[in-house]
């Protein structure tokens, strides 16, 4: 069944790229709503978290509808998908979501505190029927059908830095795994790039409190949460970006040095060609709580 949160949750902080202060409230929403952003500073204008509203995509995933902008949505969307929350209204009084600690963990902890409520509507999934691939030079992302229903991710990154080099991870997205192994992974950046990025109007709100800061030889601001925290954060971003499909995915996603632009390009490809997927619902098997049967919907 679809789910929402049981009560409203408030957040405040600074936008990673804008550096602007922002207050945000995430509220329960009726079944069938999806995730909707509302700019309280712009007469409550609403922007749905769906692929057709994807706007600027470089160092963050942003949405725009009729000129109204919502920036850096990926961490919140990732937390919602990771916890199985289908419906929520997100009110904010500025253009960019707060970066908090640079991960999805503050969202996960807040939603767990208020609780998650089942709703009286069957959740529908996007089940992949045929392979879809997007390439850009050596960068790659694809999604493939799976024999057993599930959301699987294989991600590979490479950075010429002694703390990263080549990192790979393969995961099956479940709520418990997301909470413990993906949500805490923080965004990261390179100190030697900071000045140039600020000249481009980016990372004005970045600090050692909301990102892993990499010097040329190590980490400037303390211990990592995982040895491979960098690739885990890429998985976190991917889950948030693919939330723009408007439903949870059943398939295997493979990414190699991809990023926000390629994630959202995959979203666009899937939404444009409905022959690549079908709607499906999960029906838990009574005798085995972890097993599922899939019912295709016409």
Tell me what pLDDT residue 181 has. 96
Q: Are residues 96 and 202 in the same domain?
A: no
Q: Are residues 113 and 235 in the same domain?
A: no
Q: Are residues 158 and 291 in the same domain?
A: yes
Average pLDDT on 32-60 reads 93
Per the structure, the count of domains in the chain is: 2
Tell me what pLDDT residue 283 has. 59
Which domain-ending residue is among 118, 140, 173? 118
Per DSSP, 276 falls in state G
Identify whether the C-beta of residue 221 lies closer than 8 Å to the C-beta of residue 208. yes
| Tens of pLDDT, residues 144-180 | 999 888 999 999 999 999 999 999 999 999 999 999 9
Q: Are residues 129 and 94 in the same domain?
A: no
Q: Are residues 149 and 181 in the same domain?
A: yes
Give the domain extent around 216.
Answer: 125-296
Based on the residue annotation, tell me whether 263 is a catalytic residue of this protein.
no
Tell me what pLDDT residue 296 has. 38
Q: Give the strands of the sheet with 54-57, arranged side by side.
A: 54-57, 61-65, 68-70
Q: Are residues 150 and 40 in the same domain?
A: no
Q: Are residues 181 and 283 in the same domain?
A: yes
Token pair of 79, please? 């937390």
Query: Over the chain, what is the mean pLDDT?
Result: 91
Average pLDDT on 50-67 reads 89
89: domain CATH number?
A: 3.30.230.20
Active-site residue among 17, 75, 260, 263?
260
More confident residue, 60 or 239: 239
pLDDT confidence bin for 192, thresholds 50/70/90: confident
Separation CA 85–CA 94 (nearest Å): 24
Average pLDDT on 281-286 reads 57
Task: Determine which of 129-143, 150-164, 193-207 has the lowest per-residue pLDDT on average.
Answer: 193-207
Residue 12 has pLDDT above 70, yes or no: yes
Residue 224 has pLDDT above 70, yes or no: yes
Q: Are residues 275 and 174 in the same domain?
A: yes
| Tens of pLDDT, residues 225-281 | 999 999 999 999 999 999 999 999 999 999 999 999 999 999 999 999 999 999 998
How far from the centroid of its chain's Cα atoms is residue 131's Cα?
22
Residue 184 has pLDDT above 80, yes or no: yes
Which domain-ending residue is among 72, 100, 118? 118
Identify whether the C-beta of residue 181 lies closer than 8 Å to the C-beta of residue 170. no
Which domain-ending residue is among 103, 118, 133? 118
Q: Are residues 109 and 141 in the same domain?
A: no
Q: Are residues 36 and 97 in the same domain?
A: yes
Q: Are residues 164 and 277 in the same domain?
A: yes
| Tens of pLDDT, residues 99-114 | 999 999 999 999 999 9
Tell me what pLDDT residue 62 has. 93
Q: Are residues 136 and 174 in the same domain?
A: yes
277: domain CATH number?
A: 3.30.1700.10
Tell me what pLDDT residue 77 has. 98
The CB density around residue 262, as the number of other CB atoms within 10 Å, is 21
Token pair of 221, please? 């601001």
The CB density around residue 113, as the number of other CB atoms within 10 Å, is 11
pLDDT confidence bin for 40, thresholds 50/70/90: very high
As to burial, measured by CB atoms within 10 angstroms (0-12 exposed, 13-18 middle, 19+ buried), residue 165 is: exposed
pLDDT confidence bin for 64, thresholds 50/70/90: very high
Residue 22 has pLDDT above 50, yes or no: yes
């Amino acid at each position: 069944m679809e789910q929402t949160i049981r009560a409203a949750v408030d957040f405040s902080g600074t936008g990673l790229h804008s550096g602007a202060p922002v207050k945000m409230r995430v509220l329960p929403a009726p079944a069938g709503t999806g995730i909707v952003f509302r700019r309280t500073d712009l007469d409550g204008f609403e922007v749905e978290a769906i692929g057709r509203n994807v706007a600027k995509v470089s160092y963050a995933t942003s949405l725009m509808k009729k000129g109204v902008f919502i920036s850096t949505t990926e961490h919140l969307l990732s937390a919602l998908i990771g916890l199985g929350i289908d419906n929520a209204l997100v009110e904010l009084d500025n253009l960019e979501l707060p970066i908090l600690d640079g991960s999805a963990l503050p969202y996960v902890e807040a939603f767990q505190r208020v609780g998650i409520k089942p709703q009286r509507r069957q959740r529908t999934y996007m089940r992949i029927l045929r392979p879809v691939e997007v390439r850009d030079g050596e960068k790659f992302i694809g999604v493939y059908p799976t024999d057993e229903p599930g959301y699987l991710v294989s991600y590979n990154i490479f950075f010429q830095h002694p703390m990263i080099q080549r990192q790979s991870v393969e995961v099956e997205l479940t709520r418990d795994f997301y909470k413990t192994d993906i949500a805490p992974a923080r965004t990261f950046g390179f100190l030697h790039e900071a000045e140039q990025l600020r000249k481009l109007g980016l990372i004005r709100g970045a600090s050692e409190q909301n990102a892993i800061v990499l010097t040329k030889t190590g980490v400037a601001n303390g211990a990592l949460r995982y040895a491979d925290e960098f690739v885990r954060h890429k998985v976190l971003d991917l889950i948030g970006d693919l939330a723009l499909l408007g439903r949870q995915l059943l398939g295997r996603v493979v990414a190699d040095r991809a990023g926000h632009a390629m994630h959202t390009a995959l979203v666009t490809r899937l939404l444009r060609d409905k022959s690549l997927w079908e709607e499906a619902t999960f029906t838990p098997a009574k005798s085995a709580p972890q097993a599922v049967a899939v019912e295709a919907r016409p």
